[in-house]
Amino acid sequence: MGRGQLQPAAQAVTTQAMPMGMTHYMELLATNQPWNLLIFMAIPVILAETLTATEFFVTFGRLYDGPLRQFNKIVGIALGFYFLGIFLYLTTQVVPQIVWRGYSDIIAVGFYLSGVIFLFGIALLDLGVIANTAEKETKMKLHFLLLIGFLVVAHIAMIFGMLNPALF
pLDDT digits (tens, 9 = 90+) for 106-158: 999 999 999 999 999 999 999 999 999 999 999 999 999 999 999 999 999 99
Closest residue by Cα to residue 51 from 107, 111, 121: 121
18: left (phi over 0), alpha (psi -120 to 50) or beta: beta
Q: What is the pLDDT of residue 16?
A: 63
Confirm whether 19 is domain-assigned. no
**In this predicted model, what pLDDT tens digit does every residue of 113-125 receive, in sequence order?**
999 999 999 999 9
Confirm whether 126 is domain-assigned. yes
Q: Are 121 and 130 in contact (CB under 8 A)?
A: yes
What's the pTM?
0.86
Confirm whether 74 is domain-assigned. yes
Q: Residue 152 is part of which domain span?
A: 45-161
Confirm whether 167 is domain-assigned. no
**In this predicted model, what pLDDT tens digit does every residue of 38-87 receive, in sequence order?**
999 999 999 999 999 999 999 999 999 999 999 999 999 999 999 999 99
Amino acid occupying residue 14: T
Count of domains forming the chain: 1
Strand ranges inside 8-148, DSSP E: none
